[in-house]
Amino acid sequence: MLRSQVREEVFKILFRLPFTAQEDMREQIDFSMEELEGKSEENIQYIRNKLNGILEQIEEIDNRLSDNCDGWRIERVGKAELAIMRIAVYEILYEAEVPNSVAINEAVELAKRYCDESAKGFVNAVLGKIEKGTGC
């Protein structure tokens, strides 16, 4: 699997989580991981690690998003856009091996695929502010 395909799988799982009760979240993630049957163990582990990392840092990630979504409360951001940006912010802040430009570009590509036309500009703008704010 290409890393872009791995990100897409992470997105699909993250997108489902807001519709899941907190106590059922682990079970939903496990169920989603079972759907990846046939993928390489390396890819499954990468997906699991990224999901766990995002969930461990979700408060910091959401704070960064809230601080940079001018005029938008994070609760009002579309669920697809939010899941996409959470992945990118995690990569910007915590995965040094992923260049920020790649994290942002991949997020914009996912927004083109899964969101309405205006989402790609919104995602790009918010992530660009976050990147500048990190000093990276």
Residue 134's pLDDT is what? 61
- What does each of the 136 residues of the chain score in pLDDT, given as a tens digit? 788 888 999 999 999 888 877 777 778 888 888 888 888 888 889 999 999 999 999 999 999 999 998 777 888 899 999 999 999 999 999 999 999 999 999 999 999 999 999 999 999 999 999 998 864 4
d(CA 24, CA 131): 33
Domains and their CATH numbers in the chain: 3-134 (1.10.940.10)
What pLDDT was estimated at residue 136? 42
CB distance 127 to 111 below 8 Å: no
User: 99 with 26: CB under 8 angstroms?
Assistant: no
Burial readout 78-103 (b: 16 or more C-beta within 10 A, e: otherwise) = eebbbbbbbbbbbbbbebeebebebb
Predicted pLDDT at 131: 92
